[in-house]
Chains A and B, each alone.
Chain A
Amino acid sequence: MDRRETIKSLFVTSLAGGLVLQSCAPDKVDSVEVVPADKTNVYGRTPEEAKRDKDLFSEIYFTEHEIETIAVLSDIILPSNDSYGSATDAAVPDFVEFMSKDLPYHQLPLRGGIMWLDSQSNKLYNSEFVKCTHEQQISLVDRIAYPLDAKPEMAAGVKFFSLMRNLTLTGYYTTEMGIKDLGYKGNQPNVWDGVPDDVLKEHNLEYDPEWIPKFVDQSKRDVQAQWDDDGNLIS
């Protein structure tokens, strides 16, 4: 069993009194394939960069308890819905683990934040955060999830939760599932011919009629450019 599956199974077993994993609708995108550690050199790495990646993958920073806490929090931040999977379905804990080694300045705020959360949880419920009921977890999270309303004594927790929220959002929306969820349509060959008409209308905008003749005529994009002596395009 690799580490990712370990994380996933730990997470599922920790949910006894908490979240119920929803059954998947047929068209639901509910998990992602994350490139395994030994196949990361698919994105144009120099030899030094490939080695750095490999070294980081060989290290483990978070303890199992910490990664379990990160998993629970990330799924509170982004639970699954009818169409898409949750943060852990998008392997967010793996991403947070990697980033803590790639950008070590994340290590202390995350480790300390998890300890802070457990301290609060122990005070309130006499239990570590991950062992609390879902209702107890949500009740605690509600005290740190809203920066403008949180009590001053919760400031450290607010900071930690904001960091977790940021990493969870980035970790999720940079996966294939998250990109589909977001609706990003690019990163593929296409021919840009301006803002769609219905969008222009919706925003009460139009292309200046004087500018229209200046723009590229996409039907002639493959015709080799030629100019007259004054620099006027004639092809």
Chain B
Amino acid sequence: MADPGAASAPKPSSSVKLVLLGEAAVGKSSLVMRFVNNDFQENKEPTIGAAFLTQKCNLPTRTIKFEIWDTAGQERFASLAPMYYRNAQAALVVYDITKASSLIKAQHWVAELQRQASPGIVIALVGNKFDLASTTAPSDATSNGDDADATEEQDEEGAETDARKVPTKTAKAYADEEGLLFFETSAKTGMNVTEVFTAIANAIPETSLKGSRGVGGQTSLGRQEDSARVNLTSGRDAAGPNGGCAC
């Protein structure tokens, strides 16, 4: 999916730190696996501690390189997340549509992010395991190439006949109220997974990709992040012209 090397057109490229949060076993790591490797593992063992992965997302006008922090859901002492969401520009808060309590936990994470994380962080609420829900999902849900709102027109009619415990409407209403992006996904089938990340990439404000965090209504002074960043691996050959370029 990422196409290193071939796409040498000088599109502006920026890194976005993204953190995944959510209750244990809702499929956080599986979502990342699907996004990064287009792969799915049944009965994946729980993440210990955390995992760090990267993946590029090509937008028409720029390239976003996601630096993804996948945290352990069964975190025992509530001390790990703060080291991940610090300076994160995006968060993916995941719940399991077949488990009502996981949405409560997700709401708890959203509240914590709003209280503690960088101002202006883009938060996406994601209901995973859509494949376990009734098969009455509209067939275009998986093929919808457009990003956001792929699930919006989805129905609620099949909600009682399947393993689904969290109605789309409930979660969507909460997401709207809090100003979150909202998707239902299946890491197993791949449904909506890329769409989530693309929507996040599109929602990251230009300003937070530049030198400043773009907060408080201040505009960035026009210095681009990439022009200030020092590349540690370009050393030794000293004053090369690519000294500070992170592209």
Q: Do A and B bind each other?
A: no
Q: Chain B interface (Cβ within 8 Å of chain A)?
A: none
